[in-house]
């Protein structure tokens, strides 16, 4: 994509890659181009140790607080005085960032997963097998520890991914997460092995997209994958100094009817009952009946239009 410019800024002693048009910036490429054409800027930062971002000096000490500081550094970039945070897999940084920088966040866009404050968690892992991909990938293979038992020796996700090349990992991820079933491995099965190698890519994801994604992991690999996933489990335990968890800014939640996320116990009821609006009063919920996990790519036209409408209405 010729419109994309890659820049680096110094963040807490490390180089942070920012795609001036962008989870990974490439997956939002269609929305980022549209946002810029509508008159806005669209920075899409990577996470520490991912793609072209320098790896953290001490990966085992990675924290949500550090991630939020990295994102906060973008507010010092020239020409940025108000931001709309968009996220898919990492909705917690999006919402927590808005609570830490209330004066600078004009809105939030998330796909699939609603805001759940620490005092109202949805403890889905207590009702699902240990083979659920999140629980499995958050553990340490050497110590045989699992969900929320943080260890820094060898992450289960790194061990799983490390058997395969980057292209195969990305292919498996897109096939596995483009289904309506929860990704759950058997007791002696790795998550990556759930995917039949003969399964074709989703119709909206091309071989060219696969090559592009794979190239973005050539430098970083998947060394920090378990730490990144583990941040999810530990985010509720980390004291960020936030005492009020009500999101006051305009927010958009796009929910896919065929997204496996709605099958997590309690998630669909929490959304459809309107309980989520107790914590995000200005939330607009849009259901896409055919939407799966990667809606920004699968349903790019609909998702793009919804984001542009929010920007023009509130920014």
DSSP string, 24-35: -GGGGHHHHHHH
pLDDT at res. 101: 85
In this prediction, residues 105-116 reach a mean pLDDT of: 88
Nearest in space to 23 (alpha carbons), one of 101, 84, 92, 72: 92
Residue 301, in any domain of the structure: yes
Q: Give the pLDDT band of residue 211 (cuts 50, 70, 90).
A: very high
Query: What are the tens digits of pLDDT across the range 16-57?
Result: 444 433 356 778 888 888 888 888 877 776 666 555 555 566
Residue 157, in any domain of the structure: yes
- Separation between Cα atoms, residue 8 and residue 14, nearest integer Å: 10
In this prediction, residues 209-237 reach a mean pLDDT of: 66
Q: Residue 144 pLDDT > 60, yes or no?
A: no
Average pLDDT score over the chain: 78
Q: What is the pTM of this model?
A: 0.82
Residue 13, in any domain of the structure: yes
Number of domains composing the chain: 1
Residue 221, in any domain of the structure: yes
Q: Residue 218 pLDDT > 80, yes or no?
A: no
In this prediction, residues 150-158 reach a mean pLDDT of: 60
Range of the domain at 84: 6-314
Residue 21, in any domain of the structure: yes
CATH number at residue 264: 3.40.50.1820
pLDDT at res. 210: 94
Q: Residue 201 pLDDT > 60, yes or no?
A: yes
Cβ–Cβ < 8 Å for 140, 153: yes
Q: What percent of the chain has pLDDT over 90?
A: 33
Query: What are the tens digits of pLDDT across the range 234-281?
Result: 455 667 788 888 999 999 999 999 999 999 998 999 999 999 999 999
pLDDT at res. 150: 44
Q: Residue 306 pLDDT > 80, yes or no?
A: yes
Q: Residue 153 pLDDT > 50, yes or no?
A: no
**Where would I find the H helices in the chain?**
29-37, 64-73, 91-100, 133-137, 156-162, 166-176, 207-216, 225-235, 267-272, 295-298, 300-314
Residue 1, in any domain of the structure: no
pLDDT at res. 39: 86
pLDDT at res. 148: 44
Q: Residue 296 pLDDT > 80, yes or no?
A: yes
Q: Give the pLDDT band of residue 229 (cuts 50, 70, 90).
A: low
């Amino acid at each position: 994509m010729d419109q994309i410019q890659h820049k680096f800024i110094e963040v807490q002693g490390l180089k942070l890659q920012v795609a001036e048009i962008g989870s990974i910036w490439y997956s939002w490429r269609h929305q980022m181009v549209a946002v810029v054409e509508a008159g806005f800027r669209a920075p899409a930062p990577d996470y520490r140790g991912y793609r072209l971002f320098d790896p953290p000096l001490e990966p085992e000490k990675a924290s949500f607080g550090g991630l939020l500081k990295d994102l906060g550094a973008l507010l010092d970039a020239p020409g940025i005085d108000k931001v709309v945070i968009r996220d898919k897999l990492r909705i917690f940084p999006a919402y927590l960032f808005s609570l830490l920088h209330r004066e600078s966040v004009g809105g939030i866009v998330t796909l699939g997963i609603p805001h759940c404050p620490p005092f109202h968690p949805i403890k889905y892992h207590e009702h699902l097998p240990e083979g659920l991909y999140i629980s499995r990938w958050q553990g340490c293979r050497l110590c045989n520890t699992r969900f929320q038992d943080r260890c820094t020796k060898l992450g289960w996700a790194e061990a799983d991914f490390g058997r395969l090349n980057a292209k195969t990992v990305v292919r498996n991820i897109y096939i596995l997460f483009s289904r309506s079933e929860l990704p759950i491995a058997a007791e002696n099965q790795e998550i990556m092995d759930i995917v039949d190698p003969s399964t074709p890519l989703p119709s909206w994801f091309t071989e060219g997209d696969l090559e592009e994604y794979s190239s973005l992991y050539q430098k970083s690999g998947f060394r920090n994958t378990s730490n990144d996933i583990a941040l999810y489990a530990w985010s509720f335990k980390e004291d960020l100094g936030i005492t009020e968890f009500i999101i006051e800014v305009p927010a958009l939640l796009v929910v896919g009817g065929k997204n496996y996320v709605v099958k997590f116990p309690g998630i669909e009821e929490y959304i459809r009952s309107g309980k989520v609006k107790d914590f995000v009063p200005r939330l607009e919920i849009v259901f896409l009946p055919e939407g799966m996990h990667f809606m920004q790519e699968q349903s790019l036209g609909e998702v793009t239009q919804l984001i542009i409408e929010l920007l023009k209405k509130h920014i």
